[in-house]
Amino acid sequence: MTVSLTQASVLVIDDAPTIRQSIRLTLGNIGITRVDLASSIGEGRRRLKNGSYDVVLCDYHFGDGMNGQELLEELRGTGELPLTTVWFMITAEASYEKVVSVAEVGPDDYLIKPFTGALLSDRLAQAWEKKQVLGPVYDKIGMGDIEGAIAQARALLDSAAAQPYRSDLQRILSTLLLEDGQLEAARRMFEAILQQRMVPWARLGLARTYNRQSRKDEAESMLKHAIGEHAQYIDAYEELAGLYLADGRLEEAMAVYEQCLSIAPNNVARLQKAGNLASMLGQSTKARELLERAVTYGGNSSALAPETLLQLALAAKRDGALSDAERYLRLLNNSKHKDGLTAQVVATLAGALFSGRPQDLEPLQAYLQDTAFTLELAVTAIMTADFICPPSQAGEVPNPQVPPYRWLMAIAERFITSKHVSGLLEGACGQRASWAGYVRQLGSDIGELNKLGVQLMLQGRHAEAVERMVEVARRTHNTRLMLSASHAIVRFLKTGAAAERERRGLLLACEEFLSRLHGAVEEGVLYSLSEELDALLATD
């Protein structure tokens, strides 16, 4: 059912009182009376958290802090701004057109000051009408029904009423196909759009598709070309940094983040990514500076992650700023992020860091094999243990039966897939040579085991490869081992040499591995393995 614009609830965010009142009067003149006002980014954020608005009119520039574009990106990223909400950017900066022309998360429209009430009324009505037409798609997305949203978008593409918004629908549909893992369909659609017109969002979408199809060189080249054409293409920078991170090219990823932050310096999520990366690279001063900015600009933001406060506490401890460390730990204790494994792990680490008692790290053991326990958390866990465990002794012999070596073994065996990852974990050990050496040896053992499994497969000795790989992959949940074990299982089962009971067990193991590998390995590789597994299941 179409809702009248005059019934809409509106939030105006602007730090100039005269502008806020002027916009309120203008809205009143066109029949919109449900209007709330906010004088800062923080107040606007609070109102959007605690209330529901159909329209937001936000200023772009707020002094030296976050700007309206960064707030919009944050709220879309956290899901706190419904897709059905109309967002208008209001700015005195004509250069904003260059920003929004290549922004993945852009406003529904923008107005350059000064503007007339008639212009605001007309443009609002147009944006409102588009939201009403596209509403069924947004509703499906809001419910998490991606397949339903895809079907609805396709139906609307054939609808006469939606033809004025065909470009918007193409953007929504192609992005949904990519999100749903329909990579070939997404690729064809992005390429078809680019053949008609060169639009930045379609180029970025195609680069993302190439990346997920293991066409990394093409993706990297496309992203670099896009940045070369549009120096303010923030989302292309982020995608390129993500590509480098996945490839273990951390220094290059850091350089890209620094370029990105020189253009849009106050995005909370981006500051945290860059700060955590700097911490992993051992750049503690830079990490602290970036993460402190995230806290400063994040304020009451849901995008401010609890691990950021923990990293800051660790950085302050490293620098001997004990009062700062305690302040960050208190802020963390008062954080509203209490649910989920990450919050539980961070709370455990923070509690141990505050008490200084190694035994308070014992709950870690229950989290180490969970899919939500990330490499970043692993690095932070080792760094925390380094602070509070008793000093290492010269010639100390690692004992995997007791902490901290028990935790180090679980972390190393799970996460080490390359020398680069091993180096990160070794670096987190600080000056403890016995810890670092133990981690290095475990990484070497994992590499040798994987190498042996691959050699056995190449020699056609698939049963031996399965025997060597599967149980270790199950115990460690190491990505590299699970992938090799999956290949070994598929090849072995294709020989038909497995007994019925053994066959069922291996099929279940392969299904488990592929489930855990989603999002951790290249989509093209995973898709191929899934196809082979489905064929085997069909004959079961």
Residue whose entry in the numeric block shows the structure tokens 């509403």: 135
Six-digit token pair at 424?
A: 């990160």
CATH second-level architecture of 144-234+242-247? Alpha Horseshoe (1.25)
Percent of residues in the chain assigned helix, strand, coil, to nearest 5: 70, 5, 25
Q: How far is CA 258 from CA 241, 245, 253, in A?
A: 10, 14, 9
CA separation (Å) from 99 to 60, 67, 69, 272? Answer: 11, 12, 9, 22
Distances (CA, A) of 124 to 112, 119, 431: 14, 8, 60
For residue 14, what are the contacts with CB-CB under 8 A and spacing of at least 6? 20, 23, 37, 38, 39, 57, 58, 59, 90
Whole-number Cα distances in Å, 67 to 47, 74, 82, 89, 267:
17, 11, 20, 10, 9
DSSP 233: -
Distances (CA, A) of 473 to 168, 323, 373, 421, 466: 44, 44, 17, 18, 10
Task: Give the pair of three-digit tokens for residue 387.
Answer: 């602070």
* Cβ proximity of 99 and 232 under 8 Å: yes
Amino acid of residue 200: P
How many beta carbons lie within 10 A of that of residue 411, not counting itself? 25
Spell out the long-range contacts of 33-40 with Cβ–Cβ below 8 A and sequence spacing 24 or more: 33/6, 34/7, 34/8, 34/9, 34/10, 35/9, 35/10, 35/11, 36/9, 36/10, 36/11, 36/12, 37/11, 37/12, 38/11, 38/12, 38/13, 38/14, 39/13, 39/14, 39/15, 40/13, 40/15
HEC assignment per residue over 156-187: HHCCHHHHHHHHHHHHHHHHHHHHCCCHHHHH
Confidence at residue 72, expressed as pLDDT on a 0 to 100 scale = 93
CA end-to-end span of the chain: 49
pTM of the model: 0.82
DSSP secondary structure code for residue 112 in this structure: E
Exposed/middle/buried for residue 513 (C-beta within 10 Å: 0-12, 13-18, 19+)? buried
Q: What is the pLDDT at residue 149?
A: 96
On whether the CB atoms of residues 312 and 328 are closer than 8 A, the answer is: yes
Cα gap 533→511, rounded to integer Å: 8
Is the distance from CB of 90 to CB of 110 less than 8 angstroms?
Answer: yes
**CB-facing half-sphere around the CA of 29: CA atoms within 13 A:** 13
Query: Could you tell me the residue ranges of all domains in the chain?
Result: 1-136, 144-234+242-247, 339-459, 475-540
CA distances to 383, 385, 422, 423, 430 from 436, rounded to whole Å, are 12, 13, 9, 9, 8
Query: What is the structure's pLDDT at 99?
Result: 75
CA distance 408 to 414: 10
Q: Is the peptide bond before 136 cis (omega within 30 degrees of 0)?
A: no
Q: Which residues does 227 contact at the CB level (< 8 Å), separation at least 6? A: 233, 236, 237, 240
1-136 is classed in which CATH architecture? 3-Layer(aba) Sandwich (3.40)
Residue 448 is encoded by which pair of tokens? 């040798």
Contact 352, 358 (CB under 8 A): yes
Cβ neighbours of 122 (radius 10 Å): 12
Cα gap 433→426, rounded to integer Å: 9
Query: CA torsion sign, 343 to 346 to 347 to 348?
Result: positive
| Per-residue pLDDT tens listing for the chain (540 residues) | 356 888 899 999 999 999 999 999 999 998 999 999 999 999 999 999 888 899 999 999 887 788 999 999 999 988 889 999 999 999 888 778 777 766 788 899 999 988 888 899 999 999 999 999 999 999 999 999 999 999 999 999 989 888 999 999 999 999 999 998 899 999 999 999 999 988 899 999 999 999 988 889 999 999 999 999 988 899 999 999 999 988 878 899 999 999 999 988 989 999 999 998 888 787 888 988 999 999 988 877 888 888 888 989 888 887 888 888 888 888 888 776 667 899 899 999 999 998 889 999 999 999 999 999 999 899 999 999 998 999 988 888 999 999 999 999 999 999 999 888 998 899 889 889 999 999 999 999 999 999 999 999 999 999 999 999 999 999 999 999 999 999 999 999 999 888 888 999 999 999 999 999 987 777 778 878 888 888 888 776
Q: Is 23 exposed, middle or buried (0-12, 13-18, 19+ CB in 10 A)?
A: buried
DSSP string spanning 8-25? -EEEEE-S-HHHHHHHHH
Instruction: Quote the tokens at residue 463.
Output: 């049963």
pLDDT value of residue 3:
66
Distance CA 53, CA 384 (A): 42
